[in-house]
Chains A and B, each alone.
Chain A
Amino acid sequence: MRAIAGIDVGGTNTDAVLVRGGQVMEWAKVPTTPDVRSGIVDALARLPGAAGVSRVHIGTTAFTNALVERRALEPAAAIRLGKPVSESLPPTCDWPDDLRDAVDIRSFFVSGGREYDGRPIGILDRAELCDVARQLADAGIAQVAVTGVFGPSHPEDEVQAAQWLRAENPNLHVSLSHRIGRFGILERENATLLNAILQPLAARTLAAYQTAVGAILFISQNDGTVARGDVAAEMPIFTVASGPTNSLRGAALLAASRDAIVLDVGGTTTDAGVLHLGYPRPAGLDLTVAGVRTNFRMPDLFSIGLGGGSLIDPATGAVGPQSVGFRLTQEARVFGGPTLTLTDVAVAAGRLELGDRSRVADLDRTVIERVDDYLRGRLARLLENYERVGEALPTILVGGGAVLIEDLLRGLGRTVIRPAYADVANAYGAAMAQVGGEADLTFASSELSRAEALVRAEREAHRRAAEAGASPGSIITMELEDSALSYLAADALRVRARAVGDIGES
Chain B
Amino acid sequence: MSFDIRHSDISALALGSAVLGTGGGGNSYYGQLVARRLLRDDAAVHVISVDEMDSASYAITSAAIGAPLVCLEKPPSLPALHVGLNSVSSNLNGKIGAFFAAEIGGLQCMFPLLLAAETGKPLLDGDAIGRAFPELQMTTFSIYGTTPGLPNALSSERGLLYAGAPGAAQESRERRAADDPPGIETERMFRKICSDNGGLIYLTAAFDRESLQRTLIRGTISLALEIGRAVQSARAAHRDPALAIVEAGGGRRFIAGKIVDVERQFRAGHDWGQVRIEGVDDDNGRDAEISFKNEYLILRIGDEVALTVPDLISLVETESGTPVSTEILRPGLRVTVIGLPCSPLMRTARALKSVGPAAFGYDLPYVPLG
Interface residue A88 (Cβ < 8 Å from any Cβ of B): yes
- CA A491 – CA B70 in complex, angstroms? 13
Q: Would you call A117 and B258 a contact (CB within 8 A)?
A: no
Which residues of B sit under 8 angstroms from A185, Cβ to Cβ?
72-75
Query: A46-95: which have CB < 8 Å to B?
Result: 84-89, 93-94
* Contact string against A for B residues 180-198, beta-carbon threshold 8 Å, 1 for contact and 0 otherwise: 0000000010011011001
Q: A116-B69, A117-B199, A184-B72 are in contact. Are A94 and B332 (CB under 8 A)?
A: no
* Contact string against A for B residues 68-93, beta-carbon threshold 8 Å, 1 for contact and 0 otherwise: 11101111111100000000000000
Query: B296-344: which have CB < 8 Å to A?
Result: 328, 330-334
Which residues of B sit under 8 angstroms from A116, Cβ to Cβ?
67, 69-70, 73, 198-199
Q: Would you call A119 and B30 a contact (CB within 8 A)?
A: no
> Residue of A at shortest CB range from B193?
A489
Q: Would you call A486 and B294 a contact (CB within 8 A)?
A: yes
> Residue of B at shortest CB range from A385?
B332
Q: A84-B79, A386-B332 are in contact. Are A486 and B72 (CB under 8 A)?
A: no
Q: A284-B328, A387-B332, A487-B66 are in contact. Are A86 and B74 (CB under 8 A)?
A: yes
- CA A85 – CA B77 in complex, angstroms? 7
- CA A85 – CA B333 in complex, angstroms? 35
Interface residue B33 (Cβ < 8 Å from any Cβ of A): yes
* Contact string against B for A residues 177-192, beta-carbon threshold 8 Å, 1 for contact and 0 otherwise: 0000001111000000
Which residues of B sit under 8 angstroms from A487, Cβ to Cβ?
65-68, 134, 191, 269-270, 294
- CA A291 – CA B186 in complex, angstroms? 44
Interface residue A104 (Cβ < 8 Å from any Cβ of B): no
Query: B53-111: which have CB < 8 Å to A?
Result: 65-70, 72-79
Q: Would you call B258 and A384 a contact (CB within 8 A)?
A: yes
Query: B236-264: which have CB < 8 Å to A?
Result: 258, 260-261
- CA A115 – CA B197 in complex, angstroms? 8
Q: Would you call A85 and B192 a contact (CB within 8 A)?
A: no
Interface residue A24 (Cβ < 8 Å from any Cβ of B): no
CB distance from B159 to the nearest CB of A (A): 10
Interface residue B286 (Cβ < 8 Å from any Cβ of A): no
Task: Sort chain B's interface into a size bin.
Answer: 35 or more
Q: Would you call B68 and A486 a contact (CB within 8 A)?
A: yes
Interface residue A1 (Cβ < 8 Å from any Cβ of B): no
Interface residue A139 (Cβ < 8 Å from any Cβ of B): no
> Residue of B at shortest CB range from A295?
B72
Interface residue A137 (Cβ < 8 Å from any Cβ of B): no
> Residue of A at shortest CB range from B330?
A284
Interface residue A494 (Cβ < 8 Å from any Cβ of B): yes
Query: A351-398: which have CB < 8 Å to B?
Result: 381, 384-389
Which residues of B sit under 8 angstroms from A186, Cβ to Cβ?
30, 33, 75
Q: Would you call B75 and A86 a contact (CB within 8 A)?
A: yes
Q: Would you call A388 and B332 a contact (CB within 8 A)?
A: yes
Q: Would you call A183 and B72 a contact (CB within 8 A)?
A: yes
Q: Would you call A485 and B70 a contact (CB within 8 A)?
A: yes
Q: Would you call A89 and B30 a contact (CB within 8 A)?
A: yes
Q: A93-B37, A389-B261, A486-B266 are in contact. Are A121 and B69 (CB under 8 A)?
A: no
Query: A114-136: which have CB < 8 Å to B?
Result: 115-117, 119, 121
Q: A385-B332, A389-B278 are in contact. Are A149 and B67 (CB under 8 A)?
A: no
Q: Would you call A489 and B34 a contact (CB within 8 A)?
A: no
Select the residue from B33, B65, B76, B261 with max chain A CB neighbours within 10 A: B33
Q: Would you call B34 and A488 a contact (CB within 8 A)?
A: no
Q: A183-B73, A186-B75 are in contact. Are A388 and B199 (CB under 8 A)?
A: no
Q: A85-B74, A186-B30, A388-B332 are in contact. Are A491 and B266 (CB under 8 A)?
A: yes
> Residue of A at shortest CB range from B159?
A84
Interface residue B268 (Cβ < 8 Å from any Cβ of A): yes
Which residues of B sit under 8 angstroms from A482, Cβ to Cβ?
266
- CA A491 – CA B271 in complex, angstroms? 11
> Residue of B at shortest CB range from A184?
B72
> Residue of A at shortest CB range from B26?
A487
Interface residue A285 (Cβ < 8 Å from any Cβ of B): yes
Interface residue A483 (Cβ < 8 Å from any Cβ of B): yes
CB distance from B262 to the nearest CB of A (A): 10
> Residue of A at shortest CB range from B37?
A93
Interface residue A484 (Cβ < 8 Å from any Cβ of B): yes
Interface residue A412 (Cβ < 8 Å from any Cβ of B): no
> Residue of B at shortest CB range from A390?
B260
Interface residue B157 (Cβ < 8 Å from any Cβ of A): yes
Q: Would you call B199 and A285 a contact (CB within 8 A)?
A: no
- CA A493 – CA B330 in complex, angstroms? 20
CB distance from A275 to the nearest CB of B (A): 13
Q: Would you call A285 and B328 a contact (CB within 8 A)?
A: yes
Picked from B75, B191, B268, the residue with its CB within 8 Å of the CB of A88 is: B75
Q: Would you call B271 and A488 a contact (CB within 8 A)?
A: no
- CA A149 – CA B278 in complex, angstroms? 41
> Residue of B at shortest CB range from A151?
B73
- CA A490 – CA B193 in complex, angstroms? 11
Picked from A87, A483, A489, the residue with its CB within 8 Å of the CB of B191 is: A489
Interface residue B280 (Cβ < 8 Å from any Cβ of A): yes
Interface residue A443 (Cβ < 8 Å from any Cβ of B): no
Q: Would you call A87 and B77 a contact (CB within 8 A)?
A: yes
Interface residue A428 (Cβ < 8 Å from any Cβ of B): no
Interface residue A296 (Cβ < 8 Å from any Cβ of B): no
Q: A86-B75, A185-B73 are in contact. Are A488 and B261 (CB under 8 A)?
A: no
CB distance from A46 to the nearest CB of B (A): 41
- CA A398 – CA B290 in complex, angstroms? 38
Picked from B75, B78, B199, the residue with its CB within 8 Å of the CB of A488 is: B199
Q: A87-B79, A89-B33, A486-B67 are in contact. Are A385 and B199 (CB under 8 A)?
A: no
Q: Would you call B30 and A488 a contact (CB within 8 A)?
A: no
Q: Would you call A484 and B271 a contact (CB within 8 A)?
A: yes
Interface residue A218 (Cβ < 8 Å from any Cβ of B): no
- CA A61 – CA B68 in complex, angstroms? 35
Which residues of B sit under 8 angstroms from A494, Cβ to Cβ?
69
Interface residue A150 (Cβ < 8 Å from any Cβ of B): yes
Q: A88-B76, A385-B258 are in contact. Are A488 and B33 (CB under 8 A)?
A: no
- CA A394 – CA B33 in complex, angstroms? 43
CB distance from B55 to the nearest CB of A (A): 33
Query: A89-120: which have CB < 8 Å to B?
Result: 89, 93-94, 115-117, 119
- CA A486 – CA B30 in complex, angstroms? 19
Picked from B269, B278, B280, B331, the residue with its CB within 8 Å of the CB of A486 is: B269
Q: Would you call A85 and B157 a contact (CB within 8 A)?
A: yes
Picked from B72, B78, B191, B261, the residue with its CB within 8 Å of the CB of A388 is: B261
Provide 17 A-B residue pairs closer than 8 Å at the C-beta atoms, listed in order of the A residue: A84-B157, A93-B33, A93-B37, A116-B73, A116-B198, A185-B74, A186-B75, A285-B328, A384-B280, A384-B334, A385-B333, A388-B261, A485-B67, A485-B199, A486-B270, A486-B271, A487-B270
Top 6 nearest A-B pairs (CB, nearest first) are: A484-B266, A389-B260, A115-B198, A485-B67, A89-B75, A489-B195
- Give me 6 other A-B pairs in contact (C-beta within 8 A), A84-B77, A485-B69, A490-B195 excluded: A88-B34, A115-B198, A486-B134, A486-B266, A486-B294, A487-B191
